[in-house]
Structure formats: C-alpha cells, structure tokens
Chains A and B, each alone.
Chain A
Amino acid sequence: MFVQSCPHSQKRSESALGVGFKVKVVCDARQYWCFNIFFATFLAALHVALHVALISVLPLQASAEPSGPAPVVSGVALTSTTPEMEARLKKLETELRCQVCMNQTLAESPSGLAGDMRREIRILAVSGKTDEEIKTFLQERYGDFVLYNPRLTIKTYLLWFGPFVLLFGGGVLLWRFARSRRATLEAAAPMLSAEDAKRAKDLLGE
C-alpha cells in the first residue's frame, strides 16, 4: 500500500537553502536495498579493521613456542638424500601449514615447531611414505588446518565454491537491479512530442 501510493520516479526538490538536488522518493524499496548493501559492506570493513588492530595490539597469545635446543634425531639418515627427494620435500613443505605462524607454510616458517614438522616429514619420506600418506599423518594429528589447501569434501564445498556462488548471486542481483531501474527511468521520462521537440530546439536557439 505504502509503496504503491508513491510514484516510482526521481524528483527534483528544493532544500531549505534553495539548492536543488536530486532525491529519490523515500519509500522506494530499492533505496533500502542500497542502504543495506552499503551498511553491510561498511560493517565488514569495520570488522576487518578491528581484527587488524587487535592482532597488532595484542601480544602473541598466551601459549608459547619453544626456543630451546632441538637435537638432531639419531638413527635416521636424514642428510644423504637425492636431489629429487629434496625437491619433493620442498614442494610438500609448501603445502603444509605451520601451526605456530599459521599464515606460513612449513617451508617458510622459522619456528621451532615447523622445524620439527619438516624433520618428521623427512623421516616419513625417507622411510618410503607417499606425499598423500604424509599429509594424512599430519592431518590425523593436527587437523584439517595443517593442509594449506583444504581437501574437497562435503564439509568444504562452501569454502571452495561459496565465493563463486556469492559472486554469481551478486551479479544476478546487480543485473536485475540495473534492468528494473532502467525500466523505471524510461517509464518516467516524459515523452516529447515532435512539436515540443521543435519548440525546445527553437528556444535553445539551434
């Protein structure tokens, strides 16, 4: 009712200062859409900003990470490996996450735990385990988070495909919005008769 009674067009109105400015009719449902989208974006940005601020302000959490000595494991020949093995290990290390630095792979992380995990991977690889077995070994102990690329399971469908769904949905919404807006504007545009058009031309001195 409320919406129906309003003309769906843009109006030119005068502000208190007498300056003309374009206002959309207050009850236009689409303005509500716009407001929501912008407000949500603003909130998201605020959230990110708060996180960044918190992370930079807070000291590195309560739990600590060892800096003590890490003697070499005896009994396993770890150094005498082939260049192929080294390349394989290097690749594997870039696919696993350091649990201390969290945004670093095992290959990048300087933390003691990453060193231990690299050594464990090496021991497993030298003992003949496949890459997949090594990943599963760590996943069984540290959880899915240890894998830099989450495995594609039903639980991770949303993670893998969610952004594309959002992008597509947003695109559809935007397209529909643009289309209906164009229709509204076209419907509201006054149609100049040939006579009026001629008068306007004359008035403009063309």
Chain B
Amino acid sequence: MEDAKVAEVSSVAAAAPQQMPASLPAKSNGLQKAWRYFLPLAIFFGLLGFLYKGLSLDPRELKSVLINKPVPDFTLPQLHQPNKTLSASEMKGQVWLLNVWGSWCVSCRYEHPVLNELAKQSVVPIVGFSWKDRPEDATDWLKKYGDPYTLSVSDIDGRAAINFGVYGAPETFVIDKAGMIRYKHTGPIDETALRTILMPLIRDLQKAS
C-alpha cells in the first residue's frame, strides 16, 4: 500500500517536467529562475544609484584639468600700480591663493567677507586676479568692501584667464611652493569650504618642503 503511494508520487514528479510547455524548460532551472528575478532588480538598483548620485551633482561645476599642473605663467600689470607687473614665477617658494574676481560679479561680494577674514589671519598670501574689469571699478570696489589681497593683478582683456581655464567668477586656485596648482574652488568660498577644505590643504602644503 505504502509502496504504491511512493510510486505514485515519484511518477507524478517524473511526469511534471513533461507537463511544462516545451518552450519553458528554463523554469525548471533554479539558477536561471533566480537570475530572472534578480537581474532586473540589480539593474533597477544600479539605475537608482546613478539617478540618486545625479541629484547631488552640479552640471555647471567643471573640474579643472590644471590640478597638479604647473601654474600657467602670466605677467600682468598690478592693479594698484599699473606700471609694475607681477609674474606667477615671482610667487614661487610659498603657498599662495589666486582669487579670480570682478567688480561686476555678484557672488564675489558674497565671498569677499570670507577673504577679508582670511587675510586678517595672514596665513597665506592671496593674489587678486581682477578679471575683465576696468581698473578704476576694481579699485573703487576694493576701497568700498576691503582689500584682502597681498597683491592684485589686472587681466583686462581676459587672455591670461583663458590659460587658467577660468569660466566664471569667483574662482580660487591653491598653488603650492613648487608652483603647482593643487586645488581649484569654483564659486564663492564660504566659511565651511574655507574651514573644511582650503585651510587643511593650505596647512598641509605649507608643511611640505
């Protein structure tokens, strides 16, 4: 009796695959079944990951290709003494910042108090790069809002800025003792960026020989 039952069960089991439509043999394969479920899920989560990352990316922020490259040499008239010039090579041997700005630039005004504060601490020389501006407008602006710059240069026609890959103001470059660009900050520097990114980097670079 019991034997007959077992035989019946096994015959059903044996017959089962034949009951499946011929085109779906894959269904009987456990691995393939799992694949059918998890591949779409994996693709879905992959896509979700990309989309999520995309939410926090700013398409307007372009990474500078000049990082870890020598600072492009320039010789530009100084803003306050146009008969004198400043070259990038004269800054060699110290860590310095190059801040690209213009009196026409609204977010430069937003950034300016942070630079004034940094200048007060006199930890690092800041070179002002007056970009596509009338020298008199630039000097008036600095009189009005304070002058944090150790030295200022004037790139009136914007040709030197092209060598720096400047595409908007403000932009700030951190240059090390050997004259290599180590970092570029695009957009206004706020206190958080100064405290968490720029200051630690400047200190590290100043410690390095």
Q: Which residues of A does B touch, CB under 8 Å?
A: 3-4, 8, 29, 32-33, 36-37, 39-40, 43-44, 47, 61-73, 99-100, 102, 112-113, 116-117, 120, 139-143, 145, 180, 183-184, 187-188
Q: How many Å from the CB of A200 to the closest CB on chain B? A: 24
* One of A3, A61, A145, A183 near B27 (C-beta < 8 A): A3
B145 contacts the other chain (Cβ, under 8 Å)? Answer: no
CB-CB nearest in chain A for B63: A143
B98 smallest CB distance to A (angstroms): 15
Residues of B within 8 A of A3 (CB): 27, 33
Residues of B within 8 A of A4 (CB): 16, 20, 27-28
| Chain B residues whose CB sits within 8 angstroms of the CB of A120 once the complex forms | 159, 162
B179 at the interface (CB under 8 A from A): no
For A62, what are the chain B residues with a Cβ–Cβ distance below 8 Å?
107, 110, 187-188
Interface residues on B, range: 35 or more
Cross-interface CB contact of A39 among B28, B44, B171, cutoff 8 Å: B44
A61/B60 contact (C-beta < 8 A), A43-B48, A140-B65, A188-B21 known: yes
State whether A66 touches B159 (Cβ < 8 A).
no
List B residues 133-184 near A (Cβ within 8 Å).
133-134, 137, 156-159, 161-165, 167-171
Residues of B within 8 A of A140 (CB): 65
Question: Which of B43, B65, B157, B165 has a CB less than 8 Å from the CB of A36?
Answer: B43
Which A residues are CB-close (under 8 A) to B63? 143
Known: A100-B167, A100-B168, A187-B21. A29 touches B36 (CB 8 A): yes
Q: Does B23 contact A (CB under 8 A)?
A: yes
Using CB atoms and an 8 Å cutoff, list the residues of chain B in contact with chain A: 16, 20-24, 27-28, 33, 36-37, 40-41, 43-44, 47-48, 51, 54, 58-60, 62-66, 72, 102-108, 110, 131-134, 137, 156-159, 161-165, 167-171, 186-188
A120 vs B157: C-alpha distance in the bound complex, in angstroms?
Answer: 11
7 cross-chain CB contacts under 8 A = A36-B43, A63-B167, A63-B170, A66-B169, A68-B104, A102-B60, A117-B162
Cβ of B61 to closest chain A Cβ, rounded Å = 8
